[in-house]
Homo-oligomer: A and B are copies of this chain.
Amino acid sequence: MSDPQSAEGRQTLGDVGEFGVINALRSRLTGSPLLDVGPGDDAAVLRVPDGRVVVTTDTLIDRVHFRTDWAGPYDIGRRAAATSLADISAMGATATGLLVALSAPATQELDWTMKLAQGISDEADLVGAAVVGGDLTRAPTVAVTVTAMGDLAGRSPVLRSGARPYDIVAIAGRLGWAEAGLAVLARGFNSPRALVNAYRHPEPPYDRGPAAAQAGATAMADVSDGLLGDLSHIARASGVVAHLESDLFEVADPLAAVAAAYGTDPMIWILTGGQDHALVATFDRGQPLPEGFYAVGHIEPQDESKASDRVLVDGAVFSAGPGYRHF
């Protein structure tokens, strides 16, 4: 370990050393009444009131999922946490804890890392979850893997496979805002702020997941690959076809304005943008939708002759492709 005080006062991870960084990060964490053993031992111990733990893991990689010139470390931290927390919500569960595995070069600034950790911790606070542990490793590229744990509070998990013919397809949260914000940034602009901020960190409707489960949602998914992509996963898992009606989607003012300026159809962002982490769920058509959800279509039985068409928009296959593919 070298001297922790560099001349510039801009210490790097290499300056402070693995355990110095871990101690600095740990000092920022808030606890949870469910946490029996927190960070600092071989593993954490988290109480699971329901007797079943809901678990998911997601990795964000520099220049694949974020660009450090378009989003600061705090926002990247919030996004990294949101990506996993939204998956917990999409099962109908409430997140209780996060594990964070951070990989970074030794030249990465400690200050950058602390802001990233603060973003993760603040996003976890939104749902009452605690950062319960983590891992810090040297690597050529910055990567953040967040594992989230959640509790079902006695509810059944809402799976992708439960959608039934004639169910209503409904959305909670924003669609297309982050994608439009990315389009704005890619052209070198910084406004509309609302869209740029939506790209910098999503605002998933976390509490709508448990609310949907309580209201009897038959299927649910987090919109992370774009609505067409994620709804097609529900349709395939359920053996049904989803029909969306484009005039049921609200096109918010900033989306409409930017789409008009760029000569683009805002429905492309709404149907294929994946970074807002909205929830898509199906509900029995005979009952009112839970607060915060709005209907955008319905489910029909599978037509065996066209088994590959899982999601139709106004009765046809939408042409702009189903979401981001990693490979």
Using a CB–CB cutoff of 8 Å, the interface residues on chain A facing chain B are 1, 13-14, 16-21, 36-37, 40-49, 51-61, 64-65, 87-88, 90-91, 93, 97, 99-101, 103, 106, 132-141, 143, 145, 147-150, 152, 157, 159-161, 220-222, 237, 325-327
Q: Is the CB of A55 within 8 A of B133?
A: yes
Chain B residue numbers with a CB within 8 Å of A149 are 53, 55
Q: Is the CB of B61 within 8 A of A103?
A: yes
Out of B1, B99, B157, name the residue touching A55 (CB < 8 Å). B99
Chain B residue numbers with a CB within 8 Å of A100 are 57
Chain B residue numbers with a CB within 8 Å of A161 are 41
Could you list 21 examples of A-B contacts with CB < 8 Å?
A13-B327, A36-B52, A40-B160, A42-B90, A42-B160, A43-B88, A44-B54, A44-B55, A45-B53, A46-B52, A49-B51, A53-B149, A55-B132, A57-B100, A57-B133, A57-B145, A59-B135, A64-B138, A65-B137, A136-B327, A139-B141
Q: Is the CB of A43 within 8 A of B91?
A: yes
Pick the 8 closest A-B CB pairs, nearest first: A43-B56, A42-B90, A18-B326, A145-B145, A42-B87, A57-B99, A147-B147, A48-B48
Q: Is the CB of B45 within 8 A of A52?
A: yes
Q: Is the CB of B101 within 8 A of A59?
A: yes
Q: From A57, which residue of chain B is reached at the shortest CB distance?
A: B99
Q: Is the CB of A46 within 8 A of B56?
A: no
Query: Chain B nearest CB: distance from A285 CB in Å?
Result: 23
Given the contacts A52-B36, A106-B327, A157-B37, A137 and B46 also touching, CB distance less than 8 Å: no
Q: Is the CB of B54 within 8 A of A45?
A: yes
Given the contacts A138-B327, A327-B14, A42 and B145 also touching, CB distance less than 8 Å: no
